[in-house]
Amino acid sequence: MPRQSAESTKRSILDSAYGLFYRRGFARVGVDEIAALAKVTKRTLYYHFKSKDQLLESVLELQLELALVRVREHEKHYSGSATRFVSVLFSELKRWSAKPLWSGSGMTRIVMELADLQGHPARIVARRHKQHVQAWYVDMLRKAGVPSPKERAKELHLLVEGANALILISGDQGYADTAARAAKRLVGKT
């Protein structure tokens, strides 16, 4: 069997780690399990990533890049009035949260899991991700003609994160509808 290239090996490790971290959390997954799923030795894993913390940071960096690409690819689906933007945003959250084994926003969950480690590199990546998301909200609200788009974007972000957390806690996707109604009141009839 031919050997994988260094890049494909690294990507296999990242994909395996992402799947495990997303399903079970950072602390509950060991490097032995990641290596086994990626079909590499632990030594190979540590050749590519000096620590489990660096692996988590790299996983989140990759997810940040992929998320930004996905948002830009589907942006026209969200475009139009502010009401349309909000409706699509929360209907997508509702659809996403109804998937089997859904466990909320990975970026938010990892920050909660690492709450006592303020300078952890994964928290820095997650913060950057949320800043990109909020900047996208500002851009979309500005294009829709919403007054004070920066302030409305912060409020919208709070509603999205809150709905995400409450759906995860309660299992009730109706929180997406409730948050959408509140967000529509925030952005007005533009």
CATH code (residue 88): 1.10.357.10
Comparison of pLDDT for 106 and 139, the residue scoring more: 139
| Cα–Cα nearest to 18, from 73, 54, 71, 58 | 58
pLDDT tens by residue, 88-100:
999 999 999 999 8
The average pLDDT across 95-109 equals 88
Element (H, E) at 165: helix 149-170
Query: Residue 149 above 50 pLDDT?
Result: yes
36 lies in the same domain as 59: no
Instruction: Give the range among 18-22, 131-135, 143-147, 171-175 with minimum mean pLDDT.
Output: 18-22
> According to the model, what pLDDT value does residue 91 have?
94
pLDDT digits (tens, 9 = 90+) for 153-168: 999 999 999 999 999 9
Q: What is the number of structural domains in the chain?
A: 2
State residue 1's pLDDT score: 45
Structure confidence by residue, pLDDT tens digits, 19-47: 898 888 888 999 999 999 999 999 999 99
Based on the fold, state whether residues 86 and 15 are members of the same structural domain: no
Residues of the chain with pLDDT > 70: what percent? Answer: 97
Check if the beta carbon of residue 66 is closer than 8 Å to that of residue 152.
no
b/e sequence 43-65, b meaning 16+ C-beta within 10 Å: ebbbebbeebeebbbbbbbbbbe
> Could you tell me the residue range of the domain that residue 142 belongs to?
53-187
Domain co-membership, 61 together with 116 = yes
pLDDT at residue 190 in the model: 41
pLDDT reading at 50 higher than 50: yes
- Is the domain of 79 the same as that of 32? no
39 and 64 belong to one structural domain: no
Q: Do 35 and 57 belong to one domain?
A: no
